[in-house]
Structure 1
Amino acid sequence: MPRQAIKATFASTVPQIRHTSIGVMRASVSCRIRHDRPTEDGCASVFLLVIINRRKTTVPLKITWPVNFFDNKAGVFLSRTKRDQLANDYNLLVNKEIAKINDIFMFYRHSDMELSIEQFHKDLKRYGARKDFIIWAENDIEDRFNAFMIEKQTYKNELSGLRKIKSFKSEISFSQINKEFLETFKAWLIKHEGLKLSSAWRILKTMTTYVRRAYAAGISVNIESIAQFSMPKYPGRKVYLKPEEIEKLKIYFNEDHIPEHHKRVLCHFLFSCISGLRFSDIKRAKWSDIQDDLLIIVPYKTRKTEKTIKIPLGKEHFTYILTEKGHLFETVSDQVTNRTLKEIAAKAGIRKNLTTHVARHTFATQFLRKGGHVEVLQKLMGHEKIATTLEYTHVDDDRLRQEMKYLLG
C-alpha cells in the first residue's frame, strides 16, 4: 500500500492538533517524533507536545519508531509493512492519551480555573482520580500529609479507613456515591465487618470528608444526596482508671527493679493523669513552658487557634519530671508507648487496655467526680466546645452501684 494511502487510513483515527480557549488561555496537544535524535537503526522517541499559554512541555510515550515511517505533521504512525498492526495500535494509544489531555483542558475551561504546566502534569498523572473516588482520596491524603496539613497519625488513620473502603469496593466512581451508597456501606461495616457504630462512623466520616473535598475541587458529585445521609456520632466508651488502679501504678513506679523504659513511660502517663495533657503535648512540653507554678502551652492539636492553656502544677507533678532541662519527658512513638503501657498494666495487675489517652480520660473523670466544675475542666483540657467536655459527665459503673445501693437501703 502506498505511503499516502496508509497515511489517509490512520489520519481518520488520530485527532488533529486542537486548540482550546480557556478564558485568555490557549492550549494544544500534538504527537511528535524526535527526528533530530535518531538512533543508529533510524528510530527515535515519540512524545506528546503540550503548549499552554505559549509554555511548552512534553509527555513521553515510551515508544520508539522509525523516523521514516512517522508523519510528524499529522502525528501519525505509518505502517512499516503491509500488515503492520503495531502502527495501528500505537495510533489508537496516542488517540487515547490525547483524549485525556483534551479532557483536562475542557475541565479547566468549564471550571474557570487556571491551568499551569505544573498543574497539568499533576492532573495527567492522576487522571483517573477525577472519576474514581479511591484514587482521588489516596492522592489527596498523600498531598495533605506532604504539605503538613495533617499529622502522621491522622495520615495513618485515614489510609486505614480508605483500606476498609477498598475492601467494600475496589473501584468507586464519584457518580455512584449518594445517600443509598453510604447507607449500604454503613450496613456492610456493621453487619459484615462486625464494627461498632463508633468505628463505622469514623470510616464513614473519612469517606464523606474526602467526597466533599473532591466536590470543592470541582469534581462532579451528587452533594445534595450525600447531604441527606446522616449518622449521629456515638462517642466510644471512655476508658479511665479508678483511684485504686492509679495507686497500683504509683506502687509499681516506685519499685526498685522496675525496667527503665517502664519508668520513663509511667513518668509522663502519671503526669497526664493529674494534668490532662495529651500525649502530643507531653512530647513537646519543655522546662521553658513552666512559669512559676504554671505550665503554659499551645496545644499541638489546636495550634492553629493559637490559644494557650494554663495548668497549675503541684509537688506531685514534679515527682514525675526526671529531666533537668529541655523537654520535660523522654518519649518514644505512640505505638511503642502504647505497647509499653500494656506491659505495665500486666505488671501492675490492671485489667484494662491502657493507652496514652486513658490518662487524659482519667484526669477528666476524677476531676469531675471530686466536684470540679465543667467550665474549668473545659479550660484545662483545651476543649473548644463545652459539648466535648460534657462527654465526661457520664455515669460510671461505680456510681450506678452506689446510687442503687442507696435506693434499696
Structure 2
Amino acid sequence: MSLIRVIQNTQRINKEGNAPLYISFYLGKEKVVIPCKLSVSTTKFDSKIGVVKGITKEAKDINLIIEQLKAKVNDILVKHRLKNIILNKESFMREYNNPSDFKSFHDFVASYMKTYSRRLEMGTFQHHKSCMGKFKKYCEGLQFHELTEDFLRDYLIYMKKTLHNADSTAQRNLSTIKIYVSAAIKKGYMEDDPFKDFGVKRIKSNIDYLTEEELIKFISLYYDRRLPERLERTLGFFLFMCFTSLHISDARHVCLEQINNGILTYYRIKNRNCKPEAIKIPLSIPVFKIIEELQGKRKEGHLFTSLQCDQVVNRQIKEIASILEIKKKVSAKTGRHTFATIFLKKTKDVATLQKLLGHSNLKETMIYAHVLDESKQEGMQCFNCFAI
C-alpha cells in the first residue's frame, strides 16, 4: 500500500509567508506529486503529520479538504489494486483529473467517433457505426481492462457461430475495433494492446470487373438513350469511373476547374488528412464525350449534379446491369476495378497504374495481378508453334 503524504513546498513562499501544499506518494518507483491548490503559512503547517495546526474554522476547513483529496487518491489506488490493474503515473493522473471521463470502452468510442468521423468517407463512417454498434450489443458496459486478447477471440467465435458472419466480415469488424483500441492506448486509457499477438487477417476480396465486351454493352446502352433520366444520369457517372479509375466519393466531387489540357487533377478524399500528392489522369476520348455532354455551356462547378446518395447509385448500377443481363455483382467499385484491369491488360505497366490509382503501396495495386497471370499463360502459347 502506497504511503500518501501531504507536503509543503517551502521553496515557493509568497509575500504573505504562505507556501503551497501537495499530496505525494509512489507508484512503483515513480513519484507522483499532486497540487492541493491550497497555500498556508509555513508556521501553521505540521509537516510531520501533514495537517494545519490549530482549531480555527479555516484550519478545520483546510484539513477537511486535505482528507478529501487523500481519500480520492486512495479510492483510485484501491479500485485498481482490487482489479489487479497496474497503474502508472500517466494513467493515475488521467483518472484523478477526469474521474468520470468514460464509464466504458463504448463511451470512449462514441466520443472519439465524433472527431474521427471527420476524416472518414460517409460509407466508411457508416461501416464504423455498424461495426461498433454490433460490438456494443455483445458487451454493453465493457471496461477498458476487460478488452483482452481472449475477449477478442471469444467475440470472433461469436460473430462466426452465432451471427453466421463470413470470415471476411468478422475480420473487417475486428480491424475496425482495432482502430479504436489503438486510439484508447494512444490517449492513455489502455495499457496493453489486445491485438499485439492477435493479428487481424487481411482477407482478399473478389474483384468484380467488366470485360471489354461487357463495358461496350454499357456504352451502347448509354448512347441508345432509352433509359429513364435517373438511370441515364447514373450510367454516365458509372462510365466516367470506368474510364478514369476514380472512387465514387472522388468522382462525385470532380469540378470542371480540375480539367485542363486533357488532364483531370484531383486529390483522394480518403487521403485528405495526410498531405497527399495530386493524381493526374489523362482523359481518353470516350470520357471526353461524357464530360462534354454533362458540361454543356458551363465552365465551372461540379461535373455531376443531382446525383443520389452512394447506396442509391449502387442500386441503380445493379439495375442497369440487370437490364443488360450481366449477372456479376456490379457496383460503383466495379468501375475502378474495370479501369485497372483493362489498363493493366493492355499495358502490363503496374508502376503507372499505381500512380493513376493513387496507391501509396504497390501491394495495393498488385490485387490486379490476376491480369498478369492471364498474360503469362497467353504468352506461353506462342511457343506451341514449334514442333519437336
Same structural fold, with TM-score higher than 0.5 when normalized by the shorter chain: yes
Alpha-carbon distance, 1:398 to partner: 8.1
Contact in 1 for aligned 2:231/2:320 (Cα 8 Å): yes
Contact in 1 for aligned 2:348/2:372 (Cα 8 Å): no
Aligned AA (1:196): A
> Is 1:336 the equivalent of 2:306?
no
1:220/1:292 CA distance change after superposition, 3 Å: closer
Contact in 2 for aligned 1:297/1:309 (Cα 8 Å): yes
Contact in 2 for aligned 1:275/1:363 (Cα 8 Å): yes
Alpha-carbon distance between aligned partners in 1 of 2:357 and 2:278, rounded to the nearest angstrom: 11
Alpha-carbon distance between aligned partners in 2 of 1:367 and 1:231, rounded to the nearest angstrom: 32
Alpha-carbon distance, 1:339 to partner: 1.7
Aligned AA (2:189): I
Alpha-carbon distance, 1:157 to partner: 1.1
Alignment of 1:180-219 (within 5 A): 180-219=150-189
> Is 1:346 the equivalent of 2:315?
no
Alpha-carbon distance between aligned partners in 1 of 2:173 and 2:353, rounded to the nearest angstrom: 29
Alignment gaps of 5+ in structure 1: 1-18, 29-72, 75-94
Aligned AA (1:318): F
Give the aligned CA root-mean-square deviation in angstroms.
3.8
SS of the residue 2:280 aligns to: strand
Contact in 2 for aligned 1:274/1:363 (Cα 8 Å): yes
SS of the residue 2:270 aligns to: coil
1:394/1:192 CA distance change after superposition, 3 Å: farther
Deviation track 1:275-323 (CA, whole Å, cap 9, x = no partner) reads 1011121111111111201111122212222301111112211121212
Match for 1:156 among 126, 130, 133?
Answer: 126
Match for 1:361 among 337, 340, 350?
Answer: 337
Deviation track 1:366-393 (CA, whole Å, cap 9, x = no partner) reads 1112233000000000000001001111
1:400/1:315 CA distance change after superposition, 3 Å: closer
Alpha-carbon distance between aligned partners in 2 of 1:199 and 1:379, rounded to the nearest angstrom: 29
Match for 2:221 among 249, 252, 273?
Answer: 252
Alpha-carbon distance between aligned partners in 2 of 1:200 and 1:363, rounded to the nearest angstrom: 29
Alpha-carbon distance between aligned partners in 2 of 1:239 and 1:252, rounded to the nearest angstrom: 20
Aligned residues: 314
> Is 1:278 the equivalent of 2:260?
no
Aligned AA (2:313): T
Alpha-carbon distance, 1:256 to partner: 2.9
Match for 1:176 among 146, 154, 158?
Answer: 146
1:219/1:244 CA distance change after superposition, 3 Å: same
Alpha-carbon distance between aligned partners in 2 of 1:346 and 1:226, rounded to the nearest angstrom: 43
Please name the residue that 1:300 is paired with: 269
Contact in 1 for aligned 2:102/2:108 (Cα 8 Å): no
1:363/1:110 CA distance change after superposition, 3 Å: closer
1:251/1:25 CA distance change after superposition, 3 Å: farther
Please name the residue that 2:64 is paired with: none
Alpha-carbon distance between aligned partners in 1 of 2:354 and 2:231, rounded to the nearest angstrom: 31
Please name the residue that 2:113 is paired with: 141
Aligned AA (1:230): G
Please name the residue that 2:360 is paired with: 384
SS of the residue 1:127 aligns to: coil
Match for 1:237 among 171, 192, 206?
Answer: 206
Alpha-carbon distance, 1:234 to partner: 1.3
Alpha-carbon distance between aligned partners in 2 of 1:394 and 1:358, rounded to the nearest angstrom: 16
Alpha-carbon distance, 1:175 to partner: 2.0
Alignment gaps of 5+ in structure 2: 1-21, 25-31, 39-59, 62-67, 81-86
Contact in 1 for aligned 2:120/2:270 (Cα 8 Å): no
Alpha-carbon distance between aligned partners in 2 of 1:370 and 1:110, rounded to the nearest angstrom: 57
Alpha-carbon distance, 1:236 to partner: 0.9
SS of the residue 1:311 aligns to: strand
Alpha-carbon distance, 1:134 to partner: 2.1
Alpha-carbon distance between aligned partners in 2 of 1:401 and 1:193, rounded to the nearest angstrom: 41
Alpha-carbon distance between aligned partners in 1 of 2:186 and 2:238, rounded to the nearest angstrom: 41
Contact in 2 for aligned 1:275/1:311 (Cα 8 Å): yes
Alpha-carbon distance, 1:24 to partner: 6.7
Deviation track 1:94-131 (CA, whole Å, cap 9, x = no partner) reads x9xx979x869x99974486899xx95xx73x430xxx
Which of 1 and 2 has higher RCO (CA within 8 Å, sep 6+)? 2
**Normalization by structure 2: what TM-score?**
0.70
SS of the residue 1:295 aligns to: strand
Alpha-carbon distance between aligned partners in 2 of 1:220 and 1:238, rounded to the nearest angstrom: 38
> Is 1:375 the equivalent of 2:344?
no
Q: Identify which range, 389-398 or 371-380, moves more after superposition.
A: 389-398
Alpha-carbon distance between aligned partners in 1 of 2:164 and 2:384, rounded to the nearest angstrom: 38
Aligned AA (2:320): I
Please name the residue that 2:302 is paired with: 327
Match for 1:267 among 225, 229, 236?
Answer: 236
SS of the residue 1:343 aligns to: helix
Contact in 2 for aligned 1:177/1:221 (Cα 8 Å): no
**Normalization by structure 1: what TM-score?**
0.66
